Amino acid sequence: MLNRLLRATMTKLLGPIASLLLRLGVSPDVVTVVGTLGVCVGALAFFPRGQLWVGVLVITAFVFSDTVDGIMARSSGRSNKWGAYLDSTLDRVGDAAIFGGLVLYYAGPGDNRLLAGLALACLILGSVVSYAKARAEGLGFTADVGIAERADRLVAVLVTAFFADLLDSTLLLGVVLALLAVASLVTVLQRMLTVRRQALAAGEVAR
């Protein structure tokens, strides 16, 4: 949902930055790698110490690189399969770092097994959401369905972690993590059912 609603707006806002980086000779791939490193540092350096709001600010400063590198690739004519592969792969690394940082905090200093478990569930199910689509496309099917796409999950967890830390409310973050875990599970099931219908139509399901 957020991908569809915000893509055009973010392209307009970040377009000048992308143009500047291209003029400076920066490669889209470099932006992808630097952005991922920034997200990982923000999540794994600050979240495990309980500095959630600081970590969110650092992550936010780098997370938009995912949009900038795409704009750069398209406007410079450098869009290619390698760039798409690198971007998708490093997206998974950044996502894992964010939820992994929360797991480390709540399994350690935060001392909240429930939130640690919910964050872990989001980490695992988020990876399966992405894999379910990638594997479907690798087999010639499509799985462009689901109520919990990457942008939705990221915005939800980052905004909630920021305010939960400022307000000292583990309940707020716990509720959102639980909802994200459920939404991710539903998305996995939606994609599995979508691929099964396509496989049935193509005669690719054993009866």
Catalytic residues: 91
Q: CA-CA distance, 97 to 39, in Å (whole number)?
A: 8
DSSP letter at 205 equals S
Is the torsion defined by CA of 42, 47, 51, 56 positive or negative? positive
And the tokens for 204? 């690719």
CA angle centred on 69, ends 191 and 187, rounded to 5°: 15
Residue 68, amino acid: V
What residues have CB less than 8 Å from 182, skipping those under 6 apart?
Answer: none
